[in-house]
Structure 1
Amino acid sequence: MGNLLITDATALDALDEARQSAAMTALRISMLCVAALVSGAGRATSSPSTISIRVRPIVGICAGLCPDFKISLVGERRVVVRQFAFRPALGRVRTFDVPSAAAAAFREELAPLRPAGTLDRGVPCPLNGADERLRYGASDYDIRWSGGGAPSRLRGCKTDRELDLAVTRALLDLSLSPAATPLTQRQVGEARACLRQKGNAYC
């Protein structure tokens, strides 16, 4: 009888340990599930940074012909283009969505330029002669990143070749010309070919 009682007690202890182990395992799984849900919710509510490019003429000889606009990529795929003019009534705003791949290419193109904080590259911008100003205008760039981390700002010049090419390629990613006018896919391909051959979007 004594041995039987000991055996029964041992079995009960083993059963209790098994139940405790199963309960701990269930608790760990529940905690992991909660952590995954919280993490997933954080990713779902976080949005990509907003990137805006402001291009403005810095000389008064353009007579409204030089690029003067602001383009913003907001959220995942929304693009807002605002064209400025001497008379505010002539300005216009366009809003449209682009494919996710195009938005990603735009962000990737500008990512290497993003400074930590604010950076001025070569501003105030130099004027390189009347002929060049009449052909292209003398413009400056003001690029801003907000959201997705600390805000950043880069100010530079059209005469900065690296910056100018990066902005041009980024605009083409959104099917926009260097003046922020809409382009067809054929026109985008032609502009990219011109960039490769001559370093300019206009052959």
Structure 2
Amino acid sequence: MDAAGGARGAFSGGASRGRRGRCGIRAARWVYTACGGHGYRNVGTGGGQACGHLHFFRYPAVFLHAGDALHGGLGIVGETDVAIAVSKSGRTAETLQVVDALACACVPVIALTGTPDSPLAEAADAVLDASVTAEACPLGVSATASSTVALTMGHALAMALAAQRGWSLRDLARAHPAGALGRATREER
């Protein structure tokens, strides 16, 4: 199964569910949250590719570092948002604290984790398995392969949402009027 196909299945009910298990997740805004090494922290940064692709398809998205969230940043998150909590281990203390706070605020959480039986997965409404068999790092510990998988899952989410919305070349041309992509979409229409 390709990544976009897997994400389409996941976001139409095919993802495994955590303990809270709400269905029908719809987001006014997507909020990525993570804490930890550089690979996982950068998965959803505001200008990063995961949030950027969501912006591209006109889905508002923001990255909220778990440390910032716990010191006042949660004020940006509303009940109509959906959070994507990213953690390789699924045991990062700050990320778990954020998920607990989001649960108290009735904000649905999707866990994107390399450990589908983790506390994060248990606390989430849906779980996306981003596990890898090994890291590319010579020591086998630095988030290399796992952060790439997490980033790819972010792209797959954006593609699944675009497909669900029925995104067209005309829509793409409106969202990306400049550069080679904008030129190509104008020529294709």
Query: Is TM-score (shorter-chain normalized) higher than 0.5?
Result: no
Structure holding more strand per residue: 1
TM-score where L is the length of structure 2: 0.25
TM-score where L is the length of structure 1: 0.24
Comparing both chains, which one has the higher relative contact order based on Cα–Cα distances under 8 Å and sequence gaps of 6 or more? 2
